[in-house]
Amino acid sequence: MNQNDTKPSFPMTSLARRAAAFALVAGLALVGCGDDDRTPRDESASATVAPTPRPAPEPPANLATVRPTAEPESILDAPDPTPEPEVERPSVDGLDVRRVAVARDIEGREPVDPDTTFFAEDAKLYAHFELTNREGTEDRHPMVVFVGPDGQDRGLIELDVPAGAPRWRTWAYSSHIQMPGDWRVELRDEEGRVLTDHEFTIEE
């Protein structure tokens, strides 16, 4: 054998043995490592637990059926409501009164803010009337009178309503209504018969 072909054998030094041991330990440490950081499943949480049966609730005492002390009245057996009496519309010889109101002013042949309560310092008060003389063949001349709390007449204003008028709006006023109390205005025909009246109050 040629001595040149023989490989010399070198004994393993202490440093080499330590390096080999470290590599073996490192390899074993890498076996349990990975990127999956999911929480391990808790098998005990998936176990089925039977629900505890609940007792049936007892009905409250106040739900007991109580027989009424009186039988309900059927609306079918109820008496008919008393009809309101019809208001007879004043009419004398074809002169009809459709409407009456008291106000502080007149605009466009209509009362402005008609009311039933006024004050002593109000300068004038107007009595407004809507009349018809459709069936009348003659002109009519009713009179307007203001009656005070003392029962005395104040004013005597004559109105003109032409014959055949289907709708006639007219008025009269007085500036002498200052006495506090209950007043009324009357519309009287030519013979003094009251066709209609309207009450109002004067306050201080």
The predicted-structure confidence for 11-38, as pLDDT tens digits, reads as follows 454 555 555 445 444 443 333 333 334 4
Residue 135 pLDDT: 87
Calculate the average pLDDT of the chain. Answer: 73
Which structure tokens are listed for 186? 């009357």
d(CA 131, CA 167): 6
The residues that bridge with 145 in the sheet, in sequence order, are 186
From the DSSP assignment, how many helices (H) and strands (E) are in the chain? 1, 11
pLDDT category, 144, cuts 50, 70, 90? very high
Residue whose token pair is 């929480």:
39
**Residue among 180, 204, 188, 198 nearest 126 (CA):** 198
Classify 107 as helix, strand or coil. Answer: strand
pTM above 0.85, yes or no: no
Rg of the chain taking only CA atoms, in angstroms = 56
What are the residue ranges spanned by the domains of the chain? 91-203
**Residue among 159, 149, 162 nearest 196 (CA):** 159
Residue 136 pLDDT: 85
Classify 63 as helix, strand or coil. Answer: helix
Is the domain spanning 91-203 CATH 2.115.10.20? The answer is: no
Residue 115 pLDDT: 97
